[in-house]
A and B are shown apart, each in its own frame.
Chain A
Amino acid sequence: MDGEPLLNIGIFVAIVAVTLFVVYRVSSRNTTTADYYAAGGAFTGVQNGIALSGDYLSAASFLGIAGAIAVHGYDGFLYSIGFLVAWLLPLLLIAERFRNVGRFTMGDVVAFRMRQRPLRAAAANSTLVISAFYLLAQMAGAGVLISLLLDVRSSGGQALVIVAVGAVMIFYVLVGGMKGTTWVQIIKASLLLVCVLLLTVFLLGKFGFSLSDLLNRAAGNNALGDQMLQPGAQYGKSETSKLDFVSLSLALVLGAGALPHVLMRFYTVPDALQARRSVLSATWAMVLFYGCTLVIGYGASAVVGSKTIMSAPGKENSAVPLLAFSVGGSVLLAIVAAVAFTTILAVVAGLTLTASASFAHDVYANVLKHGRPAPGSELRVARMTAVVIGLLSIVGGYLAIGQNVASLVALAFALAASANLPTILYTLFWRRFNTTGSLFSMYGGLGSCLLLIVFSPVFSGGATSFVKGVDFHLFPLNNPGIVSIPLSFLLGFLGTVLSRDRADEERSDELEVRSVTGIGASTS
C-alpha cells in the first residue's frame, strides 16, 4: 500500500487532539465516584446509545469483520449477525433492570441480595479477567494496525506506538473519567458510522445500486469464487469446525450483554427509560454499521480482490484500508486509519475505566473496607488502578504483538457469557437463587472457560497458537462457549438447590420491586 505515513499521522494526531480537548473541557467536574464511574448518570439515552455502540464496535469489528467478508465471504457475515442479534438480550432482559438496581459496577447487582464480600470479589474477578482479554486484543490490534497503516514495521516502532496509545488512554480516563470517555466514544462512533456509510453508498453507486452485481463482481474477484456467497468456506471444513462455529455463535449472542464494560454503560443515564433508549439507539447504530460491513466486505473483494488483500502485510485486516485507498486515495486511507486508531483508543479507555471501577468499588471499598471506605479514598484507588492497568496493558500489548487478535475477542465473549450471564439472569429473575449458586456459577463458568481455553488449539497445537512448539491441547474447539455456558447455568442451579443458604428476604423484595419500577433507585 502506498499511503503517505505523514498524512496518516497528521490526520490521526488531529483527531486525537480534538478528543483530548473535548475530554479536558467536559471534565471540569470530575470529583466524586459517581462522576468518575458513571458521569453522574447525566447522559441522555441517545448520547449513551451512540457511546455504547462505540464501546462495542472495536477495531476488530471495523477491520476484522469487513476483512473476513472480503476474504472468506459469507462466513465473515455470520459474525455481523451474531454481534447484532446479541443486543436483544440486554434490551429485553438486562439494561433497564441493571439501571434500576445498581449504581456503578456489575457487582452492585449480583451482590445486591447475597452475601456482599464473596460476591463482590467474584464479580471483580470475572470483570478483571474479561477486561484483560479484551484489552490485550485491542492493544495487540494497535500493533497490527500500526505496521499496516503507518508503515512502522520494526518492533521498536510498534512498541513506541503501543506506549503512546496507553499514555493517551490513561489521560482520557484520569482526566475525563466516565464523562470524558463517553464523549470520546461518541466522537469516535459518529466518525466510524459516517465513514462506513460513505464507503457503502459509494460502493453501491459504483455497481448501480444492485447488490446482485456487487456480489457477482465480488465472487469473480475472489479466490473462492461463487463459494464466497454461501456459508462454509471458513467453518465448513470438518465436523469439528462446524461445531466450533456453533460454539462461537452461542458465545457471541449470549456474551455481548454480559461484557462488563457494556454493563457499566447502563449506569451513565438517569433512569431505566434512558437505559432502554440507550440500547435502542445503539442497536440502530449497529444495524446500520453491520449492514454496511456486508457491502464494504464484498465491495473490497470486488474492487481490490482477495489475492491483493491476502498478500498485503495485515492480510484480511487490510481489506478496508486497501479499499479506502483504491476508492479515495491517500486522504481517505488516512481518515480510515485515523478512525481505526481512535476506535482502539476509545475502547481501551472504556475497558480500563471499567476494570478500575470494579477494583476500587468492589474490591477496595466493599471487600477490603466493608463498604465504608474513607471519604475520597475510593476515587483515589480507582485512579491509581487505572494507571496500573494502563501500564500493564502497555506491557501486555507489547508481548501480544503478532497474536491472533480476533480469537482473543471471541474468547472474551465466551468468558462473559459463562461467568456473568447466568448469575445476572438468575439474580434478576429467580427468587430462590442464593449466594452459593452465584459463586458456583461465576467461578464455575469462569474457571471452566479458562481451563478449556488453556487446553484448546488457541493455546497450543494450532497454526496460530500462543504457545508454539508444544502441543498439549485436549479440547478440540477454539471457542469453549458451547460447553462452559450451559455448565455455568447448571452449576448456578445445582448450587442453589443443593445448598441451604437463603438470600436476604428484604433485599429480595427490594430487588424485585426496584428492578421493575426503579422505586428507590435514585436515593440509594
Chain B
Amino acid sequence: MGARSLRFRKLRWKGIPMTQASAFTHAPEPEKYVAFEPAVNDFSTGFGPDENAKPSYAAIREHPDFVRVRRRLTRFIFPVSVLFFVWYMTYVLLAAYAHDFMARRALGSVTVGLLLGLSQFVTTVVIMLWYARFTRTKVDPEIDRLRRFAGED
C-alpha cells in the first residue's frame, strides 16, 4: 500500500501543468496510462471550451489524481460510518438490555443512560465537524483541480 501511494505521489510531483485545460493530454509519462491512448480516450476531444461532448469518464476514472482523491474519501467515510453505527447500536443494546447500568446515578439525578444519550449528541457533532474539516482541507481542493482539468468552472 505504501509503495503504491508513493508512486502516485511521485507522478503528481513530476508535475501535471495546472493551468491548461488540456493538461490531461500532456501527462508526463503517457505510455504508463492506458487511459491516455489517444484513440480511445483523448481528453482534448471531450474538453474543448465550445464542445458539448461528454468528458471521457473512463480516462478520468483511471487518472491517478482521481484515484487518489477517491481512495482518500473512501478511507474516511466507510470507517467513520461503521464507527458511528456500531457506537449507536451499542448504546441501543445497552438501553434495551442493561437497565441497571443505565439507571445508575452519575451526577445528582442525571443517570448514566442520560449521559450516554447526550454523548450520542456529542459524537454526532464531533463526526460532523470532523468530516467538514476533512473534506474542506483534504478533498475539496483536489476535486476543484480535477474539475478545472476537465474544463468545468
Binding between chains A and B: yes
Which positions in A face B, CB cutoff 8 Å? 74, 77-78, 81-82, 84-85, 87-89, 91-93, 210-213, 215-216, 219, 229-232, 235-236, 242-243, 245-246, 249-250, 253, 273, 276, 280, 283, 287, 290-291, 429, 506, 509-510, 512-514, 516-520, 522-523
* Contacting pair A245 B92 (CB below 8 A): yes
Contacts of A250 in B (CB 8 A): 89, 92
* Contacting pair B152 A522 (CB below 8 A): yes
* Contacting pair B143 A516 (CB below 8 A): yes
Interface residues of B in 68-113 (CB under 8 A from A): 69-70, 73-74, 77, 80-81, 84-85, 88-89, 91-93, 95-97, 99, 102-103, 107-111, 113
Contacts of B120 in A (CB 8 A): 81, 84-85
Contacts of A518 in B (CB 8 A): 143, 147, 152
Bound-state CA distance A509–B89 (Å) is 35
B23 at the interface (CB under 8 A from A): no
* Contacting pair A253 B88 (CB below 8 A): yes
Contacts of B58 in A (CB 8 A): 506, 509
Which of B55, B66, B103, B124 lies in contact with A230, CB distance below 8 A? B103
* Contacting pair A517 B110 (CB below 8 A): no
Binary contact readout B129-148 vs A (1 if CB under 8 angstroms, 0 otherwise): 00110010000100100110
Contacts of B13 in A (CB 8 A): none
Is chain A's interface secondary structure helix, strand, loop, or mixed overall? helix
Which of B70, B96, B135 lies in contact with A231, CB distance below 8 A? B96
Bound-state CA distance A376–B111 (Å) is 60
Nearest chain A CB to B47 CB, angstrom units = 10
- Contact A516 to B121, CB < 8 A, known contacts A229-B114, A245-B96: no
Contacts of B84 in A (CB 8 A): 85, 88
* Contacting pair A74 B69 (CB below 8 A): no
Binary contact readout B35-78 vs A (1 if CB under 8 angstroms, 0 otherwise): 00000000000000000101101101100001001100110010
Bound-state CA distance A245–B94 (Å) is 12
* Contacting pair A509 B109 (CB below 8 A): no
- Contact A84 to B121, CB < 8 A, known contacts A74-B114, A509-B58, A522-B152: yes
Of A81, A87, A283, most B-chain CB atoms within 10 Å: A81
A-B contacts besides A245-B92, A509-B57, 6 pairs, CB < 8 Å = A74-B117, A88-B127, A215-B109, A516-B66, A516-B70, A518-B143
* Contacting pair B93 A246 (CB below 8 A): yes
Contacts of A216 in B (CB 8 A): 108-109
Which of A235, A290, A514 lies in contact with B121, CB distance below 8 A? A290
* Contacting pair B52 A92 (CB below 8 A): no
* Contacting pair B113 A231 (CB below 8 A): yes
* Contacting pair A519 B60 (CB below 8 A): yes
Which of A85, A429, A516 lies in contact with B88, CB distance below 8 A? A85
Which of A93, A212, A506, A519 lies in contact with B147, CB distance below 8 A? A519
Which of B69, B109, B121 lies in contact with A219, CB distance below 8 A? B109
Which of B60, B66, B85, B111 lies in contact with A229, CB distance below 8 A? B111
Nearest chain B CB to A357 CB, angstrom units = 25
Is chain B's interface secondary structure helix, strand, loop, or mixed overall? helix
Contacts of B18 in A (CB 8 A): none
Which residue of A is nearest B96, CB measured? A242
Bound-state CA distance A232–B92 (Å) is 11
Nearest chain A CB to B80 CB, angstrom units = 6
* Contacting pair B128 A280 (CB below 8 A): yes
Contacts of B73 in A (CB 8 A): 516
30 residue pairs from A and B, CB less than 8 Å apart: A74-B95, A74-B111, A74-B113, A78-B95, A78-B117, A88-B80, A89-B81, A91-B128, A212-B108, A213-B108, A215-B109, A219-B109, A229-B109, A229-B111, A229-B113, A230-B111, A235-B96, A249-B88, A249-B92, A273-B140, A509-B61, A510-B54, A514-B57, A516-B70, A517-B143, A517-B150, A518-B143, A519-B60, A520-B54, A523-B52
Which of B74, B99, B111 lies in contact with A236, CB distance below 8 A? B99
B125 at the interface (CB under 8 A from A): yes
Bound-state CA distance A291–B121 (Å) is 8
Bound-state CA distance A39–B114 (Å) is 41
Which residue of A is nearest B153, CB measured? A522
- Contact A230 to B113, CB < 8 A, known contacts A81-B91, A84-B121, A519-B55: yes
* Contacting pair B110 A211 (CB below 8 A): yes
* Contacting pair B132 A512 (CB below 8 A): no
Bound-state CA distance A506–B59 (Å) is 11
Nearest chain B CB to A287 CB, angstrom units = 6
* Contacting pair B146 A517 (CB below 8 A): yes
* Contacting pair B124 A513 (CB below 8 A): no
Contacts of B147 in A (CB 8 A): 517-519
- Contact A88 to B57, CB < 8 A, known contacts A235-B96, A236-B99: no
Interface pairs A-B: 6 shortest CB-CB? A212-B108, A230-B103, A215-B109, A509-B57, A231-B95, A510-B57
Which of A230, A246, A290 lies in contact with B92, CB distance below 8 A? A246
Contacts of A510 in B (CB 8 A): 54, 57
Which of A81, A212, A514 lies in contact with B109, CB distance below 8 A? A212
Nearest chain B CB to A518 CB, angstrom units = 7
Bound-state CA distance A509–B55 (Å) is 11
Which residue of B is nearest A230, CB measured? B103
Which residue of A is nearest B74, CB measured? A429
- Contact A88 to B96, CB < 8 A, known contacts A276-B132, A283-B128: no
Which residue of A is nearest B70, CB measured? A516
Bound-state CA distance A12–B77 (Å) is 44
Bound-state CA distance A215–B99 (Å) is 18
Of B91, B102, B109, most A-chain CB atoms within 10 Å: B109
Contacts of B61 in A (CB 8 A): 509, 512-513
* Contacting pair B99 A231 (CB below 8 A): yes
Which residue of B is nearest A215, CB measured? B109
Nearest chain B CB to A489 CB, angstrom units = 13
* Contacting pair B124 A84 (CB below 8 A): yes
Nearest chain A CB to B58 CB, angstrom units = 5
